[in-house]
């Protein structure tokens, strides 16, 4: 394999000491999907399946230095942002993305942890809308995050569509309103808006509390596929399959909201390959 054949993705996000979300989830996902992963840490959290016990943010200068190190040497085929914490960090990240002209950017607007802890300062929301969304290839809010970003109350599909239109108006090329918080007992429906048309991605709802890091994992799977050259629709389709497998095949780790299973998608592919008489995937 030559250097030109190595696909790369950079996650700019917080560190989850419990390993289920943040850069840990992102790097696991990149690896499982065949992409070389790099990271710029925005904050260190003391965190487990029971919640977030403490958050220690990095300075904007420290985040900039990490991104600069990647940009000046290795480069990247896609960028994924997660927990950015403050307006200063968001502005610094946007400046670096513009500077290096990175044009495959997936934004997961991480705001609230599963346990309810706030992971984004209030003044940072304006910075995210004005500085980062115009650079976004894809933004992936769940319903509470979409409500926070748009000021809407979302109860219906039409509400989702209106929220998507508003976020698209800030410059994001594609908006995905995730369906994890929907009331439907059997399905989770993600709504994608590309500025012209709406598309839906349907998954079977799994009754489980082990969903820690689903948003990080889904968005980083999209970034990995974009890094490999997929278009957005195909990238989201693969990411949906990836997160569905990760939720279905539970690990049962911890005493609270456990993490998803990042190797489940590859394990399924290996099993299918064996059933078809193929050579085992390594």
Query: Which of these is catalytic: 81, 214, 217, 238?
Result: 214
Active-site residue flag, 34: no
Active-site residue flag, 208: no
Query: Which of these is catalytic: 28, 80, 178, 240?
Result: 178
Across the beta sheet with 138-139, the strand order is: 51-57, 36-48, 8-16, 78-81, 105-107, 138-139, 174-177, 187-193, 198-204
Query: Which of these is catalytic: 64, 216, 217, 260?
Result: 216
Query: Which of these is catalytic: 150, 213, 217, 260?
Result: 213
Of the candidates 49, 90, 116, the one whose C-alpha atom is nearest the C-alpha of residue 256 is 49
Structure letter (DSSP) for residue 115: T
Contact 165, 193 (CB under 8 A): yes
Active-site residue flag, 195: no
Structure letter (DSSP) for residue 209: S
Active-site residue flag, 216: yes
- Contact residues for 62 (Cβ-Cβ < 8 A; gap 6+): none
Of the candidates 37, 23, 4, 24, the one whose C-alpha atom is nearest the C-alpha of residue 224 is 37
Active-site residue flag, 75: no
Query: Which of these is catalytic: 18, 37, 215, 258?
Result: 215
CA distance 258 to 18: 9
Query: Which of these is catalytic: 76, 137, 211, 260?
Result: 211
Of the candidates 231, 179, 230, 239, the one whose C-alpha atom is nearest the C-alpha of residue 29 is 239
Active-site residue flag, 214: yes
**Catalytic residue numbers, as ranges:** 178, 211, 213-216
């Amino acid at each position: 394999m030559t250097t030109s054949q190595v696909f790369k993705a950079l996650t700019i996000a917080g560190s989850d000491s419990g390993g289920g979300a943040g850069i840990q989830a992102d790097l696991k996902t990149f690896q499982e999907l065949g992409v070389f992963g790099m990271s710029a840490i925005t904050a260190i959290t003391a965190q487990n399946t029971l919640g977030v016990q403490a958050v220690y943010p990095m300075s904007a200068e420290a985040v900039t230095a990490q991104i600069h190190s990647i940009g000046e040497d290795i480069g990247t085929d896609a960028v994924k942002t997660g927990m950015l914490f403050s307006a200063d960090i968001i502005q610094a990240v946007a400046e670096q993305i513009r500077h290096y002209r990175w044009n495959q950017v997936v934004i997961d607007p991480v705001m609230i942890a599963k346990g309810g802890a706030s992971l984004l300062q209030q003044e940072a929301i304006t910075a995210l809308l004005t500085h980062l969304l115009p650079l976004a290839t894809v933004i992936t809010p769940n319903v509470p995050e979409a409500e926070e970003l748009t000021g809407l109350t979302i109860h219906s599909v039409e509400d989702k569509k209106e929220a998507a239109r508003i976020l698209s108006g800030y410059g994001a090329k594609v908006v995905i309103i995730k369906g994890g918080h929907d009331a439907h007992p059997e399905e989770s429906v993600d709504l994608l808006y590309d500025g012209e048309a709406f598309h839906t991605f349907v998954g079977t709802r799994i009754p489980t509390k082990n969903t820690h890091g689903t948003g990080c994992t889904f968005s980083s799977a999209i970034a990995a596929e974009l890094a490999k050259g997929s278009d957005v629709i195909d990238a989201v389709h693969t990411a949906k399959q990836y997160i569905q497998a990760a939720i279905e095949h539970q690990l049962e780790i911890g005493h609270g909201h456990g993490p998803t299973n990042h190797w489940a998608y590859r394990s399924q592919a290996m099993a299918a390959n064996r059933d078809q008489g193929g050579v085992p995937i390594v």
